[in-house]
Amino acid sequence: MNRASKTGANEINTYLRQFDREQLLELGAVLYEMVKKQCQTGFDDRGQPVTKKHFAALNGMRKILKDRDAS
């Protein structure tokens, strides 16, 4: 990871720390629906074709939300 990517990741992590677990899970649910729709249409929000990364993100989010609903 290059320096700019690390800086961006640190800024995102700092921002996300202000939320509690439930708020983050709700955000994850919204993001899940967004990625799910993109995978169904075949294009992301910029009009680019979806990739394996989109499906990997969808599956990762699905697992997290499934674990949340089970607890």
Report how far residue 37's alpha carbon sits from residue 45's, in angstroms, rounded to the nearest whole number: 10
Q: Is 43 helix (H, G, I), strand (E, B) or coil?
A: strand
pLDDT of residue 19: 87
* Cβ atoms of 57 and 32 closer than 8 Å: no
pLDDT of residue 12: 83
**Which burial class, exposed, middle or buried, applies to 29 when counting CB atoms under 10 A from its CB (0-12, 13-18, 19+)?**
middle
- What is the chain's pLDDT, residue by residue, as a tens digit (71 residues)? 677 778 888 888 888 888 888 888 888 888 888 888 888 898 888 888 988 888 888 888 888 888 877 76
pLDDT of residue 68: 76
